[in-house]
Structure 1
Amino acid sequence: MFLNAHSWFSFKYGLLKPEALLEEAAKAGVRSFALTDIHSTAGIPDFVRLAPEHGIRPVAGIEFRQGSQVLYIGLARNNDGFRQLNQLLSPHLLDGHLLSPSAPQSPCALRSTASLMLGMTAGEAFFILPLATPPRELHANEFIGVRPAELTRLPFSPWMKQPAKLVAWLPVTFPQATRPVPFNTHRLLRTMAHNTLLSQVPSEELAAPDEHFRTPGEVRHLYRDFPQLLRNAERLLEQCSIAFDGSDKTPKVFGSSAAADREQLHLLAREGLHRRYVRLAPTALARLQHELEVIERMGFISYFLINHDIVRYAQSRGFFHVGRGSGANSLVAYCLGITDVDPIELNLYFERFISTARKKPPDFDIDFSWKDRDEVFRYIFDKYNGPFGSAQGAGTSGIHAAQVATYTTFQWRGAVRELGKALGLPPAEIDALSEGRSYYGGGRPSELVRSGHADRVATAVVRYAQRIIGMPHQFGIHVGGILVSEEPITSYSALHRPPKGFPVVQFSLLEAEDLGLHKFDILSQRGLGHIRDAVELVGGMARPEGDQGACTVDPMGRPNRRPVASGEAAIDIHAIPRFKQDPAIKQLLRTGDTVGCFYVESPAMRMLLKKLRVEDYLTLVAASSIIRPGVAESGMMREYILRHNDPERVRRAPKELLEIMPDTYGVMVYQEDVLKVAHHYAGLSLEEADILRRGMTARFRERPEFKAVEEKFFSNCKAMGRPDEQAREVWRQIESFASFSFAKGHSASYAVESYQSLWLKAHYPLEFLVAVANNFGGFYSTEFYLHEAKRHGAVIEAPCVNVSGELCVLRRSKDQKIRRSDNQKIRRSDDRKMEMTGGAEMDRSTCTVDPLGRRDRCDHAPPAIPAKPRIFLGLANIKSLNDETVRLILRERERHGPFTGLEDLLHRVPLPLEQARILIRAGALRFTGRSKPELLWDLTLLHTGKEAAAAGRCQGDFFITKVEEPVLPELHHYPLADAYDELELLGFPLCDPFSLVEGGSDDQTIRRSENGRNAILQREMHQYIGKRVTMLGYMVHVKSTTTTHGQRMTFGSFIDTAGDLWDSTQFPAVAARHPFRGRGVYRLTGVVEEEFGHCALRTQSVEKLPWKPDPRYGER
C-alpha cells in the first residue's frame, strides 16, 4: 500500500530520518513499505538494516522527477533491481542526461546514449506511473498509481479498462500530527529549495498535508470502493525484497589470480623487510609472517596490493606521500613502503589495524601533497572505472570506484538565515538572529521567544530553526575516502558528480562500513607540498656540514626530488633514522623553534614541546597525540606533562593503569589505549573493546551495540572489584576520545613528517620557509613565515615584474652558499628600520629613457658588503591583481625577457589602467628608479597619449593639435606611504610593524617611549617570573575557547620588538573587559608565569596602539 515514502534524504522535502519513518510505520501497524526518496538512495542502507528491528519488511526504490513533476516511482524487486534503478538515475545525476518521461523498457524509450547500456529486463524493477499518464499498453512491470484524492476521477479514467494495473498510491512525507507544524516545516523547506518567499512557492511543489502513515483500517476505508487497488499494491510489495549481507565487497583478486596475489604480496613484503632492516632480527621475520597469515586469513591480500599499487604509481610520478592512521601499525605496510613508521621500534599493536576479533574492514590513510592528490585520484578512477569522462562508454555498470559522501546538515546560523529569507526578514534582523542575539535587544532570541517579547516572524524563525537543526539538506564529499568494489558500485547506491568531477556515492562512511565496502583514504595536505618544494629549491646548493649526500632515490625506491641536473647535490629527505639523531633538530624541538614545521608549529604545540623538553622521537610521537582535543580537554595532557616531569607523580599513579600503559605513565594517550584499558581493566573482549573505539564518533554512539558495551563496562568493573569512582574516571577518559584522538601509528606518521620539515628548517631554512609561504597552508599567514625568514637572514622584497614569479622567489648572489650562520637570528638594528630597497642590488643594467626624456632605470654601484639572500614576493601575493594579469606578465617575460620600463611593460602587456596602477603602488616597477608618484604620473600621461593617438587615427591628422609636455611639480615620496600601500595590497607591511607606531623608530626607542613604557622582551621574561610587567607585541594569532562555565577566554601569540614570539593568556574577566581588536601592535600588562620552562603573560590589561597617520591622505 505504502509504495512511496520520503525520508529527510529527499532533501528540503522530507522531514523524518529512516529510523523515524520505521517507528511511524510500526505505530500504524504497517508491516511493509517502500522508501523512495527523490533522486536519492542515501537512506536505503540504514532503512534496510533497521527495518527488521521494527518488524517491517523493507522495499527499496527511487522517486524519479523532472522538476516538480513526478515521472514514476521505481521499486526494486531484488538487489539486481536496485542496481538497475541506480543505473537509471546515475547518468542523470552524473552528466545531466534527461530522464525518460516513461518508464524505461527498451532502447526506443530511453533518451540518452548512456541509457542504452542499462540492459534492463522486465521484472527486476517495478514502475508506478501517475494516473495522468496518457493511455497506452503497459509493460508487465508497469502500473498506474492512484492517490486517495484521485479516487473520484478514477471511474472516468481510461485506465479503468486495465484494472489489474491499478495500485493504491499513498505517499508518506510527514509524521502523524494533530497540528500543522510538520506541513509548515515542509513548506518552509520547499521555499528554501527554490530560494524564494513562502508566499511564492507554487502549490505543485508541495506534498499533500495528509501524506502520513495510516492504519490498515483507515486505508481500507479510503479505498472501500476500489479494494482491488489495495490488493494489487500488496502483491507488488510482496514480490519485492532487498538485503545487504555486510560481507567484504573489495575486489577479491588484484592480479591474475588469488594465488598470484598471495605470491606477489609475500615477495614484496620480504624484499621490503631486507631493505628496511640492515640487521634482520628474528622478531621482525616472525612478526612479518604472523601479519601475512592474518592478512590472508581475513581476505585482505588484494586490499594491501591495491594500496601498494597506489603508492607505486605516486612514486613513479615523484610524488611524496605519508601513510598514517592505524595502518602504520603494520609491518607489512612498512615493508611495502605504504608507511614510514617502524612498528617494531614503537611496539605498535598490529591488532589495532587488523584483528580476527574485528568484523569491520581496515583502512589506510595515505596523504599526498595538495598539488598531487588529484592526479592520484585520476589514476585510481581511470584504473577501476576506465576513462570515465561521462556516463557513456562502459556506462554506470562499469563503475567500480567512487568517493564517499557526507551529509551537510542545518546548523543554527544557516537555518536562521534560510528561514529568515523565506519569511522575508530584512538582512539586519537575520544577521542578529543568526548571531544569537535579538535585533531589538533584550536578550537571546530563544529567551525572547519564551518570554513572548519577540515578534511573530522572529518567533517563527527561531522555533522552526530548532526543528530543522541537524536535518541534512545536501550531499558533501568525504575529505578523501574512495570506495573500490568487486561489483559495480551502483549495486549499492546511485552516483552523483560534484564539481571535482569524480563520481560520489550517496551514503556516508558509516553506511559504507555496514555494507562491507572498504574505504581507501587518499588525502591531501600542505605539509608534503612544503617538503617537496623545499627539496626542489635546494637543488644545486651546497650541502650543510655533516651531510654526506645521498642517491636520488631512497632505500624504498622513492625519488627524493626531481632528477638531479649536472653539478647539483641530491639530498635524502627520507633518511629518518639520521634525522632522529640530528643535534640541530633536537635544538629546534627543545626550544619550540618550529614555526613552519608540519604539525609542530602551532602556539599550543610549541608550548608543549618546551614543557616536555622534547628531544627524541618517542616523546614527539606522544606529544603529537596528547595535543589533540580528546586528550587535552579531558585533562590527560596536563597529567601526562606532570608525570613526564615528576617521577614521584608516576609512582603515585593507579597501579592497574600503569601496568597497562607503562610507556605513557599510565595515561591514556592513543586510541590503542582504549582497547588495552577496556580489555585488561574492564574485562571486555577485543571485539567489545573495538566497539568502544568506534564509539568515539557521535553517530555510532547512538547505536544499541555501543550502549550495551557501556553497560557491560561498568558491570565488569564492579565484578572485578574496581573502585566505582576510579571506574567512572576511566570511562570519562574513554569518552573524551570522541574528539579525534590519534592511533599511535598515526601520531608516529605525523612525527616522521615533522622530522622531515625540521631537518629542512634546521639546514635549509630560507628554502624551506619560501616553500611554506608558497603552499599557503601552514598555521600562520604568509607574513609570519616571511618574518621567520628575516630571522634567518633574508631581506624581504616587494613584488617585481622583472624578478617575481607567481609565488615567492628566493634569490642569492652567485657566491652565496648555505651556511650554518644562515640559521642564526639576525638582530641588527639596521635590519629593523623601515627600508624599501626595491631590489636595486639585483638590477644594474644600463639606463633607458622613457618617452618624456626621463630615465627609466638608474645605475647602481655594487654594494660594499655582500648582499643578503632576498625573497621577492610573488605577483599572486598582490591582492587586487587578477590571475590573468599575472599570467600575461610572466608569459611575456619568459618569451621576450625583462621589461625595460613602464612604457615597455604597457607596450608588451595589455594591462587595464587600474591593474597597472596596482603594480606601481605595490612597488613592482621600482627597478625603474622612479618613485611611485612619478610612475603614476607617467602612467596617466602614457594612457592619455594612447587615447589621443587613438582619437587621431579616427579623425585624421588635420584635427590633431600638438600638446606641449606638461611641467610637473616636485613629487614627494613618503616611505610611510609605502607601508600603507603594502597593508592594502599585500595585507601586511614589509617594514617593521613597530615603526608604524608613534615613537617606533627602532627597538630601544619604542620600548622607552610613552607607548612602550619600558616594555620587556620575550628573552627577558624568565627574569620577571611572578612580577607585573609591560610587553609590546605585534599580533600573530589569537585563539578563543569556552570554559566549562561557558565563559570566553583567549590565548594570544605575538612578536616582540626583537622579533621573538611570546604568548599571553586572557582569562574571562580580562577577555571581556579588554577584547582584541584585530591585527596590529598591542601593549599588554600582566604577570609573567612559568611552567616547566615555558613563560607566558597572564594578562591584566590590553591596549591596541594606533598607527601613525596615513600620509597618502594629506596627514603627515
Structure 2
Amino acid sequence: MGVFQCESDGAQRTLRKLKARSVRDLAIANAFFKPGPAMGGMAGAFVRRYRGEQAVTYLHPALQPILGPTQGVLIFQEQILRLAREIAGLTWAQADQLRRGMSHFGAQEMAALAGQFIAGCQRPPPTGPGFTPAQASTLWEQVMPFAGYGFNQGHATAYAEVSFRSAYLKAHYPAQFLCARLADYGGFHHPAVYMAEAVRLGLTVRPPHVNFSAEAFSLAEGRSGPVLFMGLGQVRDLRQAAITAICQERGAGKFSDLRDLLRRVALRPKEIEHLIRGGALDGLARSRASLLAEAQEFRHGSAGQMIFDFGRRAVPAETLRQRWDWETELLGPAGQRVDRSAGAGARKPAGACAPGRTVRFPRPVAPDRGRASARLDRRPRLFPGRRRHVRHRPRRQGGQVPGALATAAGAGALGWGWVGHVLAAGGGGGRSAKCKVQSAKRRERRFVSENRKSKIGKE
C-alpha cells in the first residue's frame, strides 16, 4: 500500500507469484503485468519457469540469445524488435511497425506483414534461422498479441528503481513515508485508505489541530510515538489566509484557548465553527459543544471582553455520532479514519458505505445548499432508459465532501459521488451546480437533435 506501481491487486498478485526480491525482479514484474505478456499465452509458463518449477525451453535454438534473460517468454518491447530484425529479417521500419501493434494498420497491411514475418523466419541457414512453417506460424501467434501492449525495458527498470526505494522507505520509515504520501493527496487510492493503512501499522491519526497541523498532512511526536495530523487545508471553507495566519501565530506560542485564538487570528464566524466541529480545537475546552457555545457568545460580543464562567450555562457534550457527522461533513471521507479522543474504537454508524458499492441516488436536502442540492435530483439524463445510480469512486484530490452529501445520505454514505465535483467544498455553491446542469442540458439537446437528423436522413 503506497508503494509506486505496486498498489493494485493485480500488481500485488504478480509480485507474490514471481517472489520479487530485487530491482530486476520488479522490472520484470512491471512488464509482465501489462496486457502483452498475458495475451501471449505464456503467462503461466513464465511464472513456473521464473520460480524454478519448470525447465526453460525454446521454440527454436535461435531464440535463446533473445529470450534467455526472460525464461524463453516475450516480456519487453526490445525483444519484439530483435525478433523482427534478427529472426525474421525485417527492416527496422517494419520492426517498429510490428512493435506499434496491429491496431495501427488495416487487415491487408497486417496480412502482408505476417507473410513477410513468417517467410523471413523460414529462411535457410546461414542467412536465416531455418524455422519450419509450423514454428514460424507459432512465433507469429505469440508476437502478434504482444505487439502494441508491451513495456520497454528502460521504462520498466526506471519504474522498478522508484518502486524499490518506496518499499524501503515504507518498511523502515512508515510514519514519514505515509505522511509524505498523504501530503501529496495520496496516490492510487483515496487518502482515507492510506490513513487506514497508517492505523493498521500502529500510527495515531488525528484530525486537524490549530496547535499542531500545517496546511497539509504533518507529523508530530507524541507520548507513544509519531502522530499523523490532518492538514488545516482539509477543513472546509477555511481560507488560505487564515491557514497562513494560524501557522505564523503558532510560532510565537501555542494557542491556549478559543479566546487566545480569536485574539491573535482574524477568523470568520463560519471558519471558527468549522474548526471547532472538525476537531481543530480539541483539548482547549471540555467538549466541542462547549466551544461552539463559547464562539456564539464571542460572536455577539468580543474576544477581548471578559466573560465569567459562573454566567455560563452548562452545555452537554456532543455525542460520538455528532462527531462522526461533523467530521464527515467538514473533512470528507478521510475524517472517518481519525482517532477520536473519546471512543476511538467506536463502531461505524449505519448508513456509511465503502468505495465500490452501487446505491440508488437519494434526493439531497440541505439547509445551507438547498437550491443547488434539490436541482441535482432533476439533472438531465442522456440515457433516460437507464437506472440512475452513483458508482462510488474515491476522489483523487482534496478528500473534501460538501455538507449536502453528509446531510442527505447520513455519515458520508455518498462521500465519493459525482456530486462532489458539482458542489465543490469551499466554493462553487449553486452557481457551479447551475452551470453544470445547463451544460448537460445543452449536450442532451445536441444528442437528441443529431439522432433526429440521422433518422430523417435515413428515411
Q: Same fold (TM over 0.5)?
A: yes
Match of 2:211 in 1: 802
Matched, 1:901 2:257: yes
Match of 1:944 in 2: 300
- Deviations 1:31-58 (Å, cap 9, x if unpaired)? xxxxxxxxxxxxxxxxxxxxxxxxxxxx
Matched, 1:983 2:328: yes
1:811 and 1:751 mapped to 2: Cα distance? 31
Matched, 1:968 2:377: no
- Quote how far apart the aligned CAs of 1:910 are: 2.1
1:601 and 1:791 mapped to 2: Cα distance? 16
Matched, 1:723 2:133: yes
Inter-CA distance 642–730: structure 2 relative to 1 (3 Å threshold): farther
Match of 2:116, as an amino acid? K
- Quote how far apart the aligned CAs of 1:773 are: 1.2
Matched, 1:868 2:278: no
Could you say what secondary structure the match of 1:803 adopts? coil
- Quote how far apart the aligned CAs of 1:686 are: 4.1
The 5 Å alignment of 1:251-262 reads none
- Quote how far apart the aligned CAs of 1:905 are: 1.8
- Quote how far apart the aligned CAs of 1:621 are: 1.6
Could you say what secondary structure the match of 2:228 adopts? strand
2:354 and 2:55 mapped to 1: Cα distance? 37
Identify the match of residue 766 of structure 1 among 151, 169, 175: 175
User: Contact 1:780–1:1037 at 8 Å: present in 2 too?
Assistant: no
Match of 1:712, as an amino acid? Q
Match of 2:457 in 1: none
- Quote how far apart the aligned CAs of 1:778 are: 1.8
Which structure has the greater CA radius of gyration?
Answer: 1
- Deviations 1:496-538 (Å, cap 9, x if unpaired)? xxxxxxxxxxxxxxxxxxxxxxxxxxxxxxxxxxxxxxxxxxx
- Deviations 1:804-845 (Å, cap 9, x if unpaired)? 0111221225xxxxxxxxxxxxxxxxxxxxxxxxxxxxxxxx
Identify the match of residue 793 of structure 1 among 184, 196, 202: 202
2:75 and 2:170 mapped to 1: Cα distance? 28
User: Contact 1:717–1:727 at 8 Å: present in 2 too?
Assistant: no
- Deviations 1:457-502 (Å, cap 9, x if unpaired)? xxxxxxxxxxxxxxxxxxxxxxxxxxxxxxxxxxxxxxxxxxxxxx
TM (norm. structure 2) is 0.66
Identify the match of residue 32 of structure 2 among 623, 626, 636: 626
Identify the match of residue 927 of structure 1 among 249, 259, 283: 283
Identify the match of residue 736 of structure 1 among 143, 146, 157: 146
Match of 1:972, as an amino acid? A
Match of 1:903, as an amino acid? R
The 5 Å alignment of 1:295-444 reads none
Inter-CA distance 646–993: structure 2 relative to 1 (3 Å threshold): farther
User: Contact 1:661–1:668 at 8 Å: present in 2 too?
Assistant: yes
The 5 Å alignment of 1:749-764 reads 749-764=158-173
Moved more, 912-921 or 871-880: 871-880
Match of 2:67 in 1: 661
- Quote how far apart the aligned CAs of 1:765 are: 1.5
| Structure with the larger strand share | 1
Identify the match of residue 878 of structure 1 among 218, 235, 247: 235
1:1076 and 1:718 mapped to 2: Cα distance? 56
Identify the match of residue 692 of structure 1 among 95, 98, 102: 98
Could you say what secondary structure the match of 1:800 adopts? coil
Match of 1:908, as an amino acid? R
Match of 1:605, as an amino acid? A
Match of 1:913 in 2: 269
Match of 2:6 in 1: 600
Match of 1:403 in 2: none
Match of 2:17 in 1: 611
Match of 1:716, as an amino acid? G
Match of 1:644 in 2: 50
- Quote how far apart the aligned CAs of 1:652 are: 7.6
- Quote how far apart the aligned CAs of 1:883 are: 2.8
Identify the match of residue 157 of structure 2 among 748, 760, 765: 748
User: Contact 1:696–1:738 at 8 Å: present in 2 too?
Assistant: yes
Match of 1:928, as an amino acid? L
Match of 1:39 in 2: none
TM (norm. structure 1) is 0.29
Could you say what secondary structure the match of 2:225 adopts? coil
Structure 2 segments unaligned to the other structure (5+ residues)? 124-129, 358-388, 395-408, 412-459
1:985 and 1:667 mapped to 2: Cα distance? 52
Match of 1:942, as an amino acid? F
- Quote how far apart the aligned CAs of 1:669 are: 0.6
1:912 and 1:892 mapped to 2: Cα distance? 17
Match of 2:330, as an amino acid? L
User: Contact 1:627–1:637 at 8 Å: present in 2 too?
Assistant: no
Could you say what secondary structure the match of 1:917 adopts? helix
Matched, 1:713 2:123: no
1:738 and 1:688 mapped to 2: Cα distance? 14
Could you say what secondary structure the match of 2:328 adopts? helix
Identify the match of residue 676 of structure 1 among 77, 82, 105: 82
Match of 2:34, as an amino acid? R
Structure 1 segments unaligned to the other structure (5+ residues)? 1-594, 814-865, 950-961, 999-1033, 1039-1074, 1081-1107, 1111-1116
- Quote how far apart the aligned CAs of 1:730 are: 3.0
Match of 2:425 in 1: none
The 5 Å alignment of 1:26-65 reads none
2:261 and 2:289 mapped to 1: Cα distance? 18
Flag the structure with more relative contact order, 1 or 2, with Cα contacts below 8 A and sequence separation at least 6: 2
Match of 1:941, as an amino acid? E
1:684 and 1:1109 mapped to 2: Cα distance? 64
User: Contact 1:691–1:706 at 8 Å: present in 2 too?
Assistant: no
- Quote how far apart the aligned CAs of 1:635 are: 4.7
- Deviations 1:66-94 (Å, cap 9, x if unpaired)? xxxxxxxxxxxxxxxxxxxxxxxxxxxxx
| Structure with the larger helix share | 2
* Percent identity between the two aligned chains: 29
Could you say what secondary structure the match of 2:80 adopts? helix
Matched, 1:782 2:191: yes
Inter-CA distance 724–1036: structure 2 relative to 1 (3 Å threshold): farther
The 5 Å alignment of 1:502-521 reads none
